[in-house]
């Protein structure tokens, strides 16, 4: 089979696993298990807690000792077991710990999936910036497909979504072992503590532009899971006033427009990165988050449905221009002997520290604006929009970066 098709299958399954539960789990935890806003936020914070160390740690393993495709496969096999176990749990504390373990093995696979794709493309003589986005877009298609299946089968309020995700993880765990070998890069140690411990990527912090980039990656990471955690609950809050609306009956389908939008914006990344550079692309992403949250604040599944649809479309810009472009930027800036570690570090800052703080604080914000089980969603979304606006004002003032279009023509090491 053509290697690009094989990578498309891998990327499709990678995010199919996540799409099976990430958007709909809040509905299950709130409506069926009756978790509080803080308890739901805590479940989503597991993505951040795990990303504090696991992507970097397993990135080191892939850089130093074990083929990246094998690490990817092992992680998904363990995740399959944990997701199935999570489907049997109803206690908030136990559910938190099992999902934390699952996150510890799933979150590293996002960076590992990128690393495996980059290495294989490079070894086959492809240009990563031009050829990876059209492959990665199939990951988003996989995410959407899983969301639609869960919605159509009525699994949104049930544990079946976790069982479905578990089966998908098992398939990818096996498939990953059939991918071309992505062997660790053999390089001489410089004798430093960082080199001996395999955490060389942290030296990137010595560069001011990388330090600022990773710092804002952390701040933006706080926004990544907010609508994933509470978007479905927000739409569910209209059950009494707009019970027959499409957004209430099929919240997953409405929310999936966000991922459909991703598939379109991913394809613009090579052009935009080449034309404008990472600074302007990141700035577009930040202000897209402002509009994403702001439109949620003033929209509803009734007369305001068009505002929610517009927010879903903007999400593709907000997510891709930060997440995918950021990963490619790190790939371009990091030396070849620490490419997996550098991707792990990017995950550490975004889906680690950022998502952990975002998950915890967003839960507090939701509970703060909740009185007698009634949530003031307008104030909640405007709070998140104000946060993104502050980032958008500060970022261009402190991130000093000169765009070099020629350097992106060959993002290979």
Chain segment 207-240, per-residue pLDDT in tens: 888 888 888 888 888 887 787 778 888 988 898 8
* Residues 161, 65: Cα–Cα separation, whole Å: 35
Mean pLDDT of all residues in the chain? 84
Is the pLDDT confidence value at 408 over 80? no
Cβ count near 60 (within 10 Å)? 20
The secondary structure element, H or E, covering residue 381 is helix 377-398
- Both tokens of 325, joined, read 């472009």
Higher pLDDT among residues 368 and 38, named by residue? 368
130 located within any domain: yes
307-327 mean pLDDT: 88
413 located within any domain: no
390 located within any domain: yes
Give the CATH number for residue 73. 1.20.1250.20
- Both tokens of 109, joined, read 């696979």
* Residues 357, 56: Cα–Cα separation, whole Å: 18
131-151 pLDDT per residue, tens: 787 888 899 889 989 989 998
Cβ count near 171 (within 10 Å)? 15
Confidence bin at 407 (pLDDT 50/70/90): low
Phi/psi region, residue 31 (left: phi>0; alpha: psi -120 to 50; beta: rest), is alpha
Query: Cβ distance 197 to 189 under 8 Å?
Result: no
Is the pLDDT confidence value at 56 over 80? no
Contacts of 386 (CB under 8 A, 6+ apart): none
Q: What does the pLDDT read at residue 200?
A: 62
168-181 mean pLDDT: 92
190 located within any domain: no
CA distances from 213 to 329, 333, 350 (A): 10, 11, 11
410 located within any domain: no
384 located within any domain: yes
* Residues 372, 45: Cα–Cα separation, whole Å: 25
381 located within any domain: yes
Give the domain range for residue 119.
3-182+197-403
Instruction: At 181, give phi and psi (nearest 5°).
Output: -65, 135
How many domains is the chain built from?
A: 1
372 located within any domain: yes
- Both tokens of 275, joined, read 């034309």
């Amino acid at each position: 089979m053509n290697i690009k098709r094989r990578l498309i299958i891998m990327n499709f399954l990678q995010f199919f696993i996540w799409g099976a539960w990430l958007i709909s789990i809040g509905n299950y935890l709130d409506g069926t298990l009756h978790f509080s806003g803080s308890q739901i936020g805590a479940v989503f914070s597991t993505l951040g807690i795990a990303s504090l160390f696991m992507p970097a740690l397993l990135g080191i393993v892939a850089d130093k000792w074990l083929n990246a495709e094998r690490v990817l496969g092992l992680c998904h096999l363990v995740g399959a077991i944990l997701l199935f176990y999570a489907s049997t749990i109803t206690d908030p504390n136990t559910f938190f710990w099992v999902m934390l373990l699952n996150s510890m093995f799933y979150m590293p696979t996002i960076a590992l999936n990128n690393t495996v794709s980059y290495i294989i493309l490079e070894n086959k003589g492809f240009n990563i910036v031009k050829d990876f986005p059209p492959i990665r877009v199939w990951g988003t298609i996989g995410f959407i497909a899983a969301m639609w299946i869960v919605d159509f089968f009525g699994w949104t309020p049930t544990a079946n979504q976790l069982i479905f995700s578990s089966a998908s993880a098992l398939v990818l765990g096996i498939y990953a072992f059939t991918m071309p070998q992505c062997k660790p890069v053999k390089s001489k140690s410089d004798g430093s503590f960082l080199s001996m411990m395999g955490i060389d990527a942290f030296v990137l912090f010595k560069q001011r532009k990388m330090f600022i980039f990773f710092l804002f990656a952390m701040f933006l990471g706080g926004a990544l899971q907010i609508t994933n955690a509470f978007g479905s609950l927000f739409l569910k809050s209209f059950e009494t006033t707009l019970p027959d609306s499409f957004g209430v009956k099929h919240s997953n389908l409405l929310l999936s427009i966000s991922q459909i939008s991703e598939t379109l914006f991913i394809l613009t990344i090579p052009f935009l990165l080449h034309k404008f550079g990472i600074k302007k692309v990141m700035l577009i992403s930040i202000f897209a988050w402002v509009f994403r949250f702001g439109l949620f604040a003033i929209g509803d599944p009734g007369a305001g449905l068009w505002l929610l649809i517009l927010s879903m479309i903007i999400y593709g810009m907000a997510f891709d221009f930060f997440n995918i472009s950021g990963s490619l930027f790190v790939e371009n800036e990091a030396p070849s002997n620490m490419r997996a570690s550098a991707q792990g570090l990017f995950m550490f800052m975004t889906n680690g520290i950022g998502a952990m703080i975002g998950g915890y604080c967003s839960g507090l914000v939701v509970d703060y604006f909740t009185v007698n089980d009634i949530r003031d969603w307008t104030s909640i979304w405007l709070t998140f929009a104000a946060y993104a606006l502050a980032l958008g004002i500060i970022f261009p003032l402190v991130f000093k970066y000169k765009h070099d279009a020629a350097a992106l023509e060959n993002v290979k090491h």
